[in-house]
Every structure is written in structure tokens, then in C-alpha cells.
Structure 1
Amino acid sequence: MVGAGLAGLTCAKVLHEGGAEVEVFEASDGVGGRVRTDEREGFLLDRGFQVYFTAYPAARRHLDHGALDLRYFDPGAVILRGGGREVLSDPLRDPGALPSTLLSRSATPADKARVAALALRCLAGRGPEAAGEAGGEDASTLACLERRGFSRRFIDAFFRPFYGGILLDRGLSASCRVFSFTFRMMARGWAAVPARGMGEIPRQLAARLPEGAVRLESPVEGLLREGGRVRGVRGPWGEREADAVVVATEAPVAGRLTGEKVPEGSVGEVCLYYETSGVGAGKKVLLNAEEDAFVNNAVEISNVSGLYAPPGRRLLYAVVLGGFDLPDGELLRRGVEELSRWCPRADFRPLGLRRIPYGQFAQPPGVHATLPKNRTSTPGLFLAGEYTVDSSINGAILSGERAAREVLGR
């Protein structure tokens, strides 16, 4: 196994449960790939603002929610625009927000009725395992929303920043299938984080493997090939033969390592971390509805789980969709300027930032029909990674599960 991200760890777990001997080679100093949590000054800093949807079907098969000690976001969001704020929420799950939701000017009465109708349709059927398995003609998320009759006002005020944070693209150019799948997950479950950070997810998967099965700081530099098949891997640590090799890295790395065709393009984010005196949004996400937004969305994550910050202190995540070439100081300064306009009475002390240029592989309309299979045309070589399903935690886990079944011949 090459790579100890969610796909690689899930694949290794299923292979181990199926009686196979497994060894995982990971280039970095920890498991999780892009789903990791660092600690700084007693604060827990996830590598990017990520959430876990409890309705993810594949993830539910492999993760123990109770052991993760999940902490839940409140439904809805706080819309910030023109120096004011208003709340949009689900009155059935969040009855206290009913008055503000009814009075909200960000959505017309018809918009609110359409959201309710869409949620009811999501609850009525079983639905696909992954975004790429949704049926029907594909289009961009923006086209999908317009086709469903949502107003431009609602799209700009809510969908652009909210799904901009999920799709890492305020232009909403990603496949409508991704929008439909994530909407279904939110309608059927809750958005949450493990109490001690998103890094608990890969740690739980790794704990299901035999001791010593994961070799950290062990990069794979190439594949061993003989007679038209892959028979092992090599790195600075030596060579290791195997009956099957599963490459479970990010798409660009997998393409370079295997020569297989993988999706091109990516979208990313810069996550800014601040200690704050409080922004008054509770467990809801803050959405920047301004046309010239710098910070797309933010959340006081220590309100969701108090373990993200030392006792008596508060932690805020803010997401910038772009700005990768700006100096650290400029990113953090501009973040404070914008956050202060939203919350003029709050204080913000920069803790750091993380650039994530490859947050997801690009998912334009039609891409899911072109994704590579887990079993390649080369005997002994398999692929596992979100880019074989869809860009999500569920997609990564489902891909790992499917790759393992291919290896086991099931």
C-alpha cells in the first residue's frame, strides 16, 4: 500500500479483515493525508476547514462515531453582508431560528419553499453511495440551482459562500452531482467534527491495523515491474515485493508513479487560524455574501468542540479561496481586517495559516464518468483515492473499500 490517507488506510483495513498481509508506506510523518490535525499553543488546527457528515454511507461502515466523540454544528448559517448579519436555518432542526429565517431578506419565500421541497425529496429515497453515481444529465451547480428556480439573490447570498466552502469555488462550476450528494448528506444527517479534531478519523482507521503495518517517513519512489506486471515497490529504504500494490496517493502523485491517466486540475484554500474573543455566531458557520469577499467563510470551531482550544479561550477558522501567492503576513492581516468589519467588538490574534493548493481534484460536469477504475490494466496494480469516486471523505473511504475488494477478488 502506497499512502496512509483515508483511502489507503481503509483499503488496508479491509484487506487485513479479509486475511491479507498488509504493509503501508507513507512519505510523511503521520497518517491521514489531507485529513490531519496539528497542535499549536494548545489549540487544535485541522489542515483546512473540514467537516464530517454523519450520513456518509461508506464512512459509517468503517468508523465508530461513538469513539470519535462527534460534536455537531448547528444547522444553517449566519449571512454577513452590508455591515449586517442575518440567520438562515432549518426551522425543524433549529426552532429558535424560525423568526430570523422567516424574516431573512437573503431568500425569497419561494426560495425557502424550494429548499424545503428539495430536503423532503432527499429524505424520501435511498440515494447513491457517492456523488458520481447520481443519475440524470450533469451540469454545473450554478446551472442546477438556476434550473430549480432559486433566485439570484439567494444564490449569491447563501449558495456561493456556503457551497463555495464545500466545493472550494464560489463560481459554483463544479458538477451538480456533487451539490446533490452533499445536500442529501446534510438533509439526512449532521455536520460534525471529532471532539479532538479531524485527525481522529485516520487515527481510528490506523488503529485497526496490526502494529507496525504503517511505515511513516518511508516514501515510495517507484514500482517494481517484471513481465508486464507490478510486483512491488522501491524507495530509499530498499525494495519490497508484493502480490499486489495499491497506490493510494493524491491524483498527481499517483499519475507520476503509475503512468495511469488521472484527473487533472485542482481547487484549494488557505485556512487562517485566529484566537478570538468571540464572534457571536454560536455553532453556526459565518458566510461572507459580499461580492468582493476575501474571507469566504469562518467558524468559531471551539464553540463546536471546546477541546479545540485551551480552557477559557476561543479558536476561529477562516477560509480564503485563493491568495496562495500572498505573503503570510498579508493573508493574516487582510483576514483580520475583514473579520473585524463583521465583528467590530471582537479581537483576533493570528495563530498561523495553512496553504492547501490541492484541496480537491477539480470536478467539472461530466468528470465522474471519466474517472479511473480501482483495478488498472496492469496486473498487480490497483488505485485507491477520492479521484476514483468523488472528492469527499466518503469518496476516499469508498474508494479504499472498493480497491480492497478488487484485490481480494470479491
Structure 2
Amino acid sequence: MAEAQDDRPDVMVIGAGAAGLACAADLAAAGLRVRLLEAEDTVGGRIRTYRVAGFTTDRGFQVFNTSYPQVKHRLDLPALRLRPFTPGVLVHTDGGRLRLTDPTRRPRDGIGLLTGGQVKPRDLLAFGTLSAHALLAPASRVRARPDVTTRAALADAGFSEDFVETFFRPFLAGVFLEDSLETSARFFHLVWRSMLRGTLCLPLDGIGAVPAQLAAGLPSGVVRTLSPVSALTPGGVVVGGGELPARAVVVATGTAAAARLLPGLEPAAGRTVTTLYHAVERSPLPEPTLLVDTRRRFLNTCVLTEVQPGYSRDGRSLVSTSVLGAPTPAEEAAVLTALAEAYGADTATWEPVHRVTVRNALPAMTPPMPLTRTTRYAPGRYVCGDHRATGSLQGALASGARAAREVLADLKTPGTP
């Protein structure tokens, strides 16, 4: 760790989520004095981990994708002690379970689907073509395409409506946090590309290990937690009733907080998700695989301790289930009924461990969607986050990096603050 910086930073960054951490790191690496202010007691924002009743639980169901360029650039992956999910999903249908896997890694599963009559030849061909393009085509081609909804893009790719309803709609509902496939096809293609090129994992210490590692790489004295910013001033920010001066201020909070601090900023529409955690004496699915439901009674569910056994301290299994919105107690009871069908287990004995609702968990990304936007808001004022790019860790980190570049360019320009 470097020596503590003095108390008059060049740049004040508000919010120590992924975007703020990336921005602060790049500014500090360029030699500027930076202060990163976080309202909560630790860094991470929505990327946070709790210890509850002997279990490791994240702030909502989250996965770590190893293929993101910003992730590979900024993080020590071996230090996270990652363990992977199965490269595919199980789909609960009224006729039983259907297993769909990455055809580039498990081609025999695709052949089995075809010979078993579970998937039509046209859908398997479209699936292979879509995946091949995702693996081989440059990302610039994705950005150059006219943007439509994901549903329209899947139809154009040759998928039958039956396959879209059986696989894509329930699976992508958990990725986009919406179940109508109205999300931008540009974002869908980038997501599909990243999934095929990388591995979906969980860190041993929970997803909170990711921002913790980013914060550990910052110079001493940069991060200040429990420091909520109540307002911006012409010369800095207000914290605890006093003003802290800075030449530039970067707002790296969620969309609602950013709109409060930057009058006139239009807040991005967001998606809300609730994740339920249950302790189970015996794993209802002895494999690290995501399970989705064609009736979309839940977004997805999995046995987290099959992915990372260290998430449990006493040997019991931990089941994570996510649903759209904020369900009522009656709706939660209906989810347990659906889980009993999907897992073929008696969920009446499952012990509730934790429940977390995340509002604005992801920005709504309907077409036409720009994949990135400038972070400049006003002279000396910048705003970054996944709501200014794409709803992903990659989007948040890239937006923070862009904010740092634009701040550096502006501070070097004569006449800027």
C-alpha cells in the first residue's frame, strides 16, 4: 500500500461500486490525488456478500464471468479461488427436465437432444450457428447491427417459437431480469458471446471478494466508507455537513442516487429482483447447474453449495432462488411449491436463511441501446455506472474507466476546473 494522500484531492469519486473502484484506480495510477467516498460500511455497492446463519450469501444471485475484458485486466483470478457452474442449464418443463449445454464444450449433449427428439433440427442448427458467430465474429459487428429486441433477433436467427419459449425466454429472464425478451439484441449478443468465451463461476468468499480485491489495489487513504454525500457544490461535495473540495467530481452511484445528486439527470428505468436463500439438509440437485422453469414461476434456482461447498459451514446445502420484483408472503409460498416440482423435493422442510430485494439491480436495456455513453455531465461533473453502459460487471468497470479517461483529458485542458 502506498502512503496516505493529502486531504485535498484532485478528484472526488462518489460510490465505491465497480464503476467507482475502476475510476479511482485509473485516476490514482495516472498520478492524481483521489478520494473515493462510500455511504455504506464496505465497498462493492450491489456486489456485496453477507455471512448469515453460517452461510455465505450474496446481495442477490450473482455469477462471475471470466471472459470480461475489464475483469481480465483488473483482477487476479486465481486469488478469487473460483469454481465453475456447469456450462449449461436444466429446464423444468411440464414433461420433465431438459438439459441444454454449451455445444462448443459438450457437443454430445446436443447430439442427444437431436436424436432423442427433444429439440427440432432447425433449432439445433440455429443454436450452433448463433454460438459460432458469437465465438468467431468481432464484437464490432455486434455494435454495428441495427438494434431490435432479443425476441425479434432470435426469430431472425431461425429459432422456432417453441424453442424460444422453452429455453431462451426462461433462461434469459434471469439474465435480463425481464421475461418478455424486450431487451436489446445488441446486449444479448454480447452476453451470449461472453458466456461462450468465458466460464461462469463463484469466488470462494462470495462475490464481494471482487470489489474487495479492487479496493485492496488502491493507495492507502483513497477509500472512505460510511461517508454519504448529501449534495454537490460548485467546488466539491457535502459530507456530514461540511464541504470537501475537489477539482472534479465523478458520481459513480446507482441511477436513483445519481439523479438526486445531479439535478436534471434522467434516471434510467431499472429491474427489481428478490433472491430467497434456503438451508436444506440434503442437496436437491447434486450438480453445480442452474435450473430454470418454462412457466417462469421463478427466474432461476441453484444449489450454491454444489458450486462452492465453502458457502456452508455445517455441511448443509444452500439453495438460491431468484424471482422478479418483490414477492408477497403468499407469492413466496407459491415459489416454494414451484421449487418442489422443479427439484422433485419436499420444500416444506427448507429453512429460510436470507431474503434480499435489490431495486434497480439492472438497468432496463431496451432497443435502441447505446453500448456506452460519455460520462461528461457538466464542467467538472461526471457520471458513470452500468446504467451508463451495459448492465454487467464489464459495463460498470468500463464506464468507470471511461470516466477516468475523460476526467484526465479535461483536467489537462487549459481553462477547465
Q: Does the pair score TM above 0.5?
A: yes
Structure 1 residue 91: Cα displacement: 4.4
Within 2, Cα distance between the matches of 1:109 and 1:46? 39
Within 2, Cα distance between the matches of 1:232 and 1:265? 28
Partner of 2:251: 247
Within 2, Cα distance between the matches of 1:252 and 1:367? 20
Root-mean-square deviation over aligned CA pairs: 2.0
Q: Which amino acid aligns with 2:231?
A: G
Structure 1 residue 96: Cα displacement: 6.6
Partner of 2:179: 170
Q: Which amino acid aligns with 2:309?
A: G
Within 1, Cα distance between the matches of 2:252 and 2:268? 16
Partner deviation per Cα, 1:166-209 (whole Å, 9 max, x = no partner): 00011010111110000000121111121211111110111011
Partner of 1:358: 360
Superposed counterparts of 1:90-101, under 5 Å = 90-94=102-106, 97=109, 100-101=112-113
Question: Which of the numbers 236, 240, 247 marks the counterpart of 2:240?
Answer: 236
Within 1, Cα distance between the matches of 2:323 and 2:116? 26
Partner of 2:8: none
Partner of 1:336: 336
Q: Structure 2 vs 1, CA of residues 45 and 331 (structure 1 numbering), >3 Å: closer, same or farther?
A: farther
Structure 1 residue 288 corresponds to structure 2 residue 288: no
Asked whether the 8 Å contact 1:83–1:342 carries over to 2, the reply is no
Q: Which amino acid aligns with 2:311?
A: Y
Within 1, Cα distance between the matches of 2:313 and 2:320? 15
Task: Name the SS of the counterpart of 2:114 in structure 1.
Answer: helix
Asked whether the 8 Å contact 1:218–1:237 carries over to 2, the reply is no
Q: Structure 2 vs 1, CA of residues 22 and 39 (structure 1 numbering), >3 Å: closer, same or farther?
A: same
Within 1, Cα distance between the matches of 2:232 and 2:210? 29
Superposed counterparts of 1:9-24, under 5 Å = 9-24=21-36
Question: Which of the numbers 169, 180, 186 marks the counterpart of 2:189?
Answer: 180
Task: Name the SS of the counterpart of 1:137 in structure 2.
Answer: coil
Structure 1 residue 372: Cα displacement: 4.8
What TM-score comes out, normalization by structure 2 length? Answer: 0.90
Deviates more, 1:346-355 or 1:145-154: 346-355
Q: Which amino acid aligns with 2:292?
A: L
Within 1, Cα distance between the matches of 2:312 and 2:80? 18
Q: Structure 2 vs 1, CA of residues 342 and 154 (structure 1 numbering), >3 Å: closer, same or farther?
A: same
Partner of 2:68: 56
Partner deviation per Cα, 1:290-329 (whole Å, 9 max, x = no partner): 2xx321211111111111122422111111113x2x44x4
Question: Which of the numbers 54, 76, 84 marks the counterpart of 1:42?
Answer: 54
Q: Structure 2 vs 1, CA of residues 298 and 156 (structure 1 numbering), >3 Å: closer, same or farther?
A: same
Which runs of 5 or more structure 1 residues have no equivalent in the other structure? 226-230
Within 1, Cα distance between the matches of 2:146 and 2:197? 24
Q: Which amino acid aligns with 2:408?
A: L
Within 1, Cα distance between the matches of 2:117 and 2:171? 17
Partner of 2:390: 390
Asked whether the 8 Å contact 2:227–2:239 carries over to 1, the reply is yes
Superposed counterparts of 1:4-403, under 5 Å = 4-82=16-94, 84-94=96-106, 97=109, 100-103=112-115, 107-128=119-140, 134-225=143-234, 231-276=235-280, 277-280=282-285, 282-290=287-295, 293-322=296-325, 324=326, 326-327=327-328, 329-347=329-347, 348-368=350-370, 372-376=373-377, 378-403=378-403
Within 2, Cα distance between the matches of 1:224 and 1:71? 45
Task: Name the SS of the counterpart of 2:34 in structure 1.
Answer: coil
What TM-score comes out, normalization by structure 1 length? Answer: 0.91
Structure 1 residue 381: Cα displacement: 0.9
Asked whether the 8 Å contact 2:186–2:369 carries over to 1, the reply is no
Within 2, Cα distance between the matches of 1:367 and 1:216? 33
Q: Which amino acid aligns with 2:57?
A: L
Structure 1 residue 260: Cα displacement: 4.4
Asked whether the 8 Å contact 1:74–1:94 carries over to 2, the reply is no
Asked whether the 8 Å contact 2:102–2:196 carries over to 1, the reply is no
Q: Which amino acid aligns with 2:302?
A: V
Equivalent pairs, count: 395
Structure 1 residue 331: Cα displacement: 4.4
Q: Structure 2 vs 1, CA of residues 297 and 168 (structure 1 numbering), >3 Å: closer, same or farther?
A: same
Q: Structure 2 vs 1, CA of residues 106 and 45 (structure 1 numbering), >3 Å: closer, same or farther?
A: farther
Asked whether the 8 Å contact 1:88–1:100 carries over to 2, the reply is no
Task: Name the SS of the counterpart of 1:174 in structure 2.
Answer: coil
